[in-house]
Amino acid sequence: MKLDWQSCGDTDSRVRYLGEAMRGLYLGQPAPAPMPGGRQAALARLHEYDARGYGQSRNFLDAPVSRLSPYLRHGMLGIVEVRDHLQARYRGAPQQIEELLRQLAWRDFFYKVLDWHGAALHDDLEPPKHAVPRQRALPLDVIEARTGLPCIDGILRELFEEGYLHNHERLWFAAYLCHFRGIWWGEGARLFRQYLLDGDIASNSCSWQWVESTFATKPYFMNKENINRYSNGRWCQSCRVKCPFNASYETLQTQLFERGRAPLAEEPTRSNPRGQA
């Protein structure tokens, strides 16, 4: 079936037309993408982005991260041109962008992992470093963003409505789903692919497997203190529920992995994988 792309002159007509033409193949209602697609929008974002301070602030949800990953994912920007642009712009102070370039290298690394393993990346690359069984179905309360935890439901609503999550939110949700709910990582990776504007197999599946410990030496998890700190209290300050994350790492380690059978995860802020610069 041919699509009449030439009749889509503005956003409204494009959305209306695409909603009809692709009926049966998408989730949700037709609405414009929360970020504009295309090379021009990609270049504008790249040129406007102030990368100074990225290395110090990137773990905080309020930090001005680049949000270039959807454009990199779809080839609207090239990874080499992003690197070259940043190096030219910050020529006199390369240390200002060193962390950002390292995050680009994570993306490059994940592509190489996919290139190496192919479709096998859809399954565990290594045995998990714990002995906890995993369910292979997403719970309904997760799909409906009604887990009752303000942070998790907030992250899910952001995923469904914005199509973008800060890297820390991705890690927190992945740890929640895998370790606190006992769901196999592949279910979460599929959910992210369906909703994230940068959803792919390489960065996405590798990051989920990193959290799960099937592509790492230990599982990643967080506690309330970590969420509260890096979200600047976005959810915790007004939260009244019994928080499953409110404990020390040692306590959570024992609770989650049956008396410490899994190696203790490193302090999370020191080991965040990225693919979403």
Within 195-214, the residues that bind other proteins by CB under 8 A are: 195-197, 199-202
Residue 212 token pair: 């799960």
Q: Kindly state the tokens that stand for 134.
A: 């995993």
- Cβ atoms 164, 71 nearer than 8 A: no
Q: Which is nearer to other proteins, 1 or 140 (CB)?
A: 1
The closest of 219, 197, 195, 224 to 208, measured between CA atoms, is: 219
Instruction: Write each residue from 238 to 277 as x if it is in contact with other proteins (CB under 8 A), else as -, in one continuous string.
Output: ----------------------------x-xxxxxx----
Q: Select 22 or 241, whichever has its Cβ closest to other proteins.
A: 22
Q: How far is the CB of 105 from other proteins (least distance, A)?
A: 5
Stretch that binds other proteins, among 78-86, 138-146, 173-181, 253-261 (CB under 8 A): 78-86
Are the C-beta atoms of residues 230 and 171 closer than 8 Å to each other? Answer: no
* Shortest CB 243 distance to other proteins, Å: 23
Give the residue with the Cβ less far from other proteins, 73 or 130. Answer: 73
Could you say whether residue 137 binds other proteins (CB under 8 A)?
no
Q: Which residues pair with 234 in a beta bridge?
A: none
The Cα–Cα gap between 265 and 260 comes to 11
Q: Which is nearer to other proteins, 199 or 219 (CB)?
A: 199
CB 68 within 8 A of CB 46: yes
When binding is defined by CB under 8 A, the residue of 190, 218, 229, 234 that contacts other proteins is: 190
- Answer for which of 50, 53, 56, 87 binds other proteins (CB under 8 A) is 87
Tell the smallest beta-carbon distance from residue 166 to other proteins (Å).
Answer: 12
Residue 15 as a binder of other proteins (CB under 8 A): the answer is yes
Which residue from 77, 156, 256, 277 is in contact with other proteins, where contact means CB under 8 A? 77
Bridge partner residues of 183 (DSSP): 135
- Give the one residue of 67, 96, 105, 224 binding other proteins; rule: CB under 8 A: 105
Work out how close the CB of 94 gets to other proteins at its nearest, in angstroms, rounded to a whole number. Answer: 7
Give the C-alpha separation, 146 to 141, whole Å: 5
For tokens 């929008």, what's the residue? 41
* 75 sits near other proteins (criterion: CB under 8 A): yes
DSSP assignment of 43-90:
HHHHHH---TTHHHHTTSTTS-----HHHHHTTSS-HHHHHHHHHHHT
Task: Dump the DSSP string for 213-271.
Answer: TSSSSS-----HHHHHHHTTTTTGGG--S--TT-S-HHHHHHHHTTTT-SPPPPPGGG-
Please report whether residue 1 would count as binding other proteins according to CB under 8 A.
yes
Closest distance between other proteins and the C-beta of residue 242, in Å? Answer: 28
Q: x/- binding map, residues 21-60, to other proteins, per CB under 8 A?
A: xx-xxxxxxxxxxxxxxxxx-x---------------xx-
Question: Which positions from 141 through 180 interact with other proteins, judged by CB under 8 A?
Answer: 160, 163
User: What is residue 177's DSSP assignment?
Assistant: I
